[in-house]
Amino acid sequence: MYLTRRQFHKLGLLGGSALLLPRSMTGGALSGSGSTNPLNQRLASPPVEPFTRPLIIPPVLAPEYSNDALDFYRVTMQQAEVEIIPGTMTTIWGYNGLYPGPTIRARSGRPVVVRQENRLPESMSVHLHGGHTPPSSDGHPYDLIAPGADKDYDYPNNQIPTTLWYHDHAVDATGRHVYMGLAGFYIMTDDYEDSLPLPKGDNDVPLMIQDRRFNANGSLNYSLTDRAILEGVLGDTILVNGVVQPYHEVGTRKVRFRILNGSNARAYRLALSSGQRLIQIGSDGGLLSRPVSRASIFVSPAERIDVVIDFSGYPLGTRVVLRDINEDETSLGNVLEFRVVREESDDSSVPETLRYVDLIPESSATTTRTFTLDERVINGRTLFTINGRLFDPTYVDARPRLNDVEIWKFVNTTSEYQLHPIHIHDIEWQILDINGQRPAAGDDGWKDVFTVRGLSTVRVIGRFTDLTGIYVFHCHKLEHEDHAMMAQFEVLPAKD
């Protein structure tokens, strides 16, 4: 029998934290813990011939109204039936019933309000990942929208424009809810970025990469075995924007791709089958200072990379595949096929200077904090902790002050094979070093997710601005987060 958070709290285990194990998912019907049926984790999804269906671009949501002060959107979280595995229907939970949800396009400095209406049978919380938002609109895991209720989320958009995404963040259930489809793009830009000669319009394409496992009838198989609690739930089928291994037709020109790893736990090393290098122009928190040519790019869960691919050198009829070349036995290989199908003029270019990233001097930091990522056996189960604690909503791990610069040091003492993608809410950061070495070009911009590999140390530096209150940071392997690998910090007012 598993203990609930309240029972753990009463027992005083590791600072009052606890576990409420998510339930397994079979086609929208919620049953008992998947750990009672470990075979489900090994059952293969129905085979789908790759590159037989076109990529779908999520629709851009129009505001319900706009005035001088803000843009107002209404989104409904609801159940829907969609065809993911050809010939079968899959029950999903989606924003406006879509998988992925509709894209919101915002302007830096112009506020947005999104009214989220919960028409699902469970409580939800919506987090704008990468958003610099007030705590009341940040999607704290305990700030829940009950079934049938609504909540207005205020997004000031007072930040450098970038590719963000919104997803469920409900306590103990984030992994299952996101697996069901509760994720969508939120893309922010401004006049400066618009002025750059980068590819625009239909040649500015968002790509949400996810892995999923399906039952024979096409329903989602979210099987939470003991192994999955440690490794995260890994699927055996790659989806891009909700389509299994799609193809995308392009012209003989440059195309910008905003790539999000929206998987629960799987990391990817992305590369092109032709050997052509990816031109990275941005990371989690916005454009880089200058473009970087990379043969492959490693992307942890929740990370975003912004790349430009130039198809002008390929003859018509060429097919180029975006592949996962991650060097482990779990790699699923082909992700997306590009088909060069038309001659097309191109007045876009990748400028030598993008958006200057002003590096924060290490000497400006007022405080250095160390957070150890380790594993402990709790009630007979191996779990991951931060500084030896499971998440306790009554405990605050750090109290930085407004306008302070701090260095946060993450030390991963777990297995060399166990990486933790750490996501810090509220602000964007810069990586100082990884095991004492400067980050690679492309990883040296603004970031909110940091890959902390096993037996490694990562130091990041950030400045707390504008907003005070309580936020969380956690592992973005969602099954680790749901099993309490999370902590809180409170931004206090500046000293007089």
What is the CATH code of the structural domain delimited by 357-491? 2.60.40.420
Mean predicted lDDT score pLDDT of the chain: 92
Mean pLDDT lowest among 3-12, 227-236, 399-408: 3-12
Counting DSSP H helices and E strands in the chain, the numbers are: 5, 33
Strands (E), 225-363: 237-240, 243-244, 247-251, 254-261, 268-272, 278-283, 286-294, 297-299, 304-310, 319-324, 333-342
pLDDT category at 415 given cuts 50, 70, 90 is confident
**Which of the pair, 78 or 5, is modelled with greater confidence?**
78
Ordered by start, the domain boundaries in the chain are 25-30+52-195, 201-342, 357-491
Given a contact cutoff of 8 angstroms between Cβ atoms, the answer to whether 450 and 460 are in contact is yes
- Residue 18 pLDDT > 70, yes or no? no
Given a contact cutoff of 8 angstroms between Cβ atoms, the answer to whether 170 and 177 are in contact is yes
Q: Report the predicted TM-score, pTM, of the whole model to 2 decimal places.
A: 0.92
CATH topology of domain 201-342: Immunoglobulin-like (2.60.40)
Q: What percent of the chain has pLDDT over 90?
A: 88
* Strand 204-212 with 254-261, pairing: parallel
Instruction: For residue 110, give Cα distances in angstroms to 8, 88, 200, 398, 441.
Output: 43, 42, 21, 31, 31
User: Are 25-30+52-195 and 357-491 in the same CATH fold?
Assistant: yes
pLDDT digits (tens, 9 = 90+) for 349-399: 999 999 999 999 999 999 999 999 999 999 888 999 999 999 999 999 999
Distance from C-alpha of 207 to C-alpha of 280, rounded to nearest angstrom? 15
pLDDT digits (tens, 9 = 90+) for 186-203: 999 999 999 999 999 999
Distance from C-alpha of 339 to C-alpha of 344, rounded to nearest angstrom? 13
- pLDDT value of position 288: 98
Mean pLDDT lowest among 25-29, 270-274, 278-282: 25-29
The CATH number for 25-30+52-195, chosen from 3.40.190.290, 2.60.40.420, 3.30.1330.10, 1.20.1440.230, is 2.60.40.420
The vertex-263 CA angle with 257 and 264, nearest 5°, equals: 155
- Residue 63 pLDDT > 70, yes or no? yes
* Bridge partners of residue 391, in order along the sequence: none
User: Who contacts 470 (Cβ-Cβ below 8 Å, separation ≥6)?
Assistant: 135, 140, 396, 488, 489, 490
- Residue 247 pLDDT > 50, yes or no? yes
User: Who contacts 279 (Cβ-Cβ below 8 Å, separation ≥6)?
Assistant: 291, 292, 293, 294, 307, 308, 309, 310, 350
Both tokens assigned to 272: 């092109």
Mean pLDDT lowest among 333-337, 378-382, 387-391, 448-452: 378-382
pLDDT digits (tens, 9 = 90+) for 163-187: 999 999 999 999 999 999 999 999 9
- pLDDT value of position 329: 65
- Residue 37 pLDDT > 70, yes or no? no
Distance from C-alpha of 36 to C-alpha of 24, rounded to nearest angstrom? 10
* Bridge partners of residue 280, in order along the sequence: 292, 307
* Strand 304-310 with 297-299, pairing: unpaired
Name the strand (E) or helix (H) holding 192: helix 191-195
Distance from C-alpha of 136 to C-alpha of 230, rounded to nearest angstrom? 31
What is the mean pLDDT of the segment spanning 224-253?
A: 96
